[in-house]
Amino acid sequence: MIKNTDNRFTFKNYIKYLKKYWVLVVIFAIIGIIGSLLFVSNNKVTYSANIKIMIYNAEADQGSAVSPYLQFKEILTSNILMEDKVGIEDASGRLEVKESNRGVFTITDTESNPEKAVDNIKKIGDNIQALINGTYSDAYKYEITVLQLDQQATPSTSTKKNILMCAMATFSMIILAAIIIFIKFDFSTEK
């Protein structure tokens, strides 16, 4: 053990101490690499497809400071309505709905199968009017326009993201080893 004779912390002494326990740093780095590789290999690849729709009602839109269309977010993630009117099961678990502008919604479906993601998005596009008609008695007042419809799903998990995650996990484990060694060094300087 390297003793710090003047009982004060110096970076130079810590580096010497760190070099003495380099094996611990390497072990933690290997644990980080193995752990992140196991996570990445068990992580399912998912695919996302989007549809962007615009909902407009001239009466509801006048004079309202808050978007009068926020209830559509709840409709689009309602398991009962989406299964009954559109044919999508577990909508609240797989659909993400964001209102980007007043009355403009982006709906994202994430699936393990790219064809299923695109199919669900197409179902929403084909049945959105029926969904609104079946939910509101004044549905005729709402104009619904499909602004964008993905014809191909994109992978949600990328190789770059997985590599970055492996690097961050390894770096985090090295930092953890350095902190543990620092605590041991810190206690040894007080003696």
Q: What is the chain's pLDDT, residue by residue, as a tens digit (191 residues)?
A: 445 455 566 778 778 877 888 888 889 889 988 888 888 777 777 889 999 998 888 777 777 777 778 788 888 888 888 888 888 888 888 888 898 888 899 999 988 888 998 999 999 888 888 888 877 777 778 888 889 989 888 887 666 777 888 889 889 998 988 888 888 776 554 44
**CB contact at 8 A, 97 and 86:** no
**CB contact at 8 A, 152 and 114:** yes
155 three-class SS: strand
Residue 44: both structure tokens together: 């399912």
Output the CA–CA distances (angstroms, integers) from residue 58 to 36, 70, 72, 103, 167, in the order listed. Answer: 52, 15, 16, 11, 52
Residue 85: both structure tokens together: 């009117």
- What pLDDT, on the 0 to 100 scale, is given for residue 187? 53
Q: How far from chain centre, in Å, is Cα 111? A: 14
Output the CA–CA distances (angstroms, integers) from residue 91 to 121, 125, 135, in the order listed. Answer: 11, 15, 16
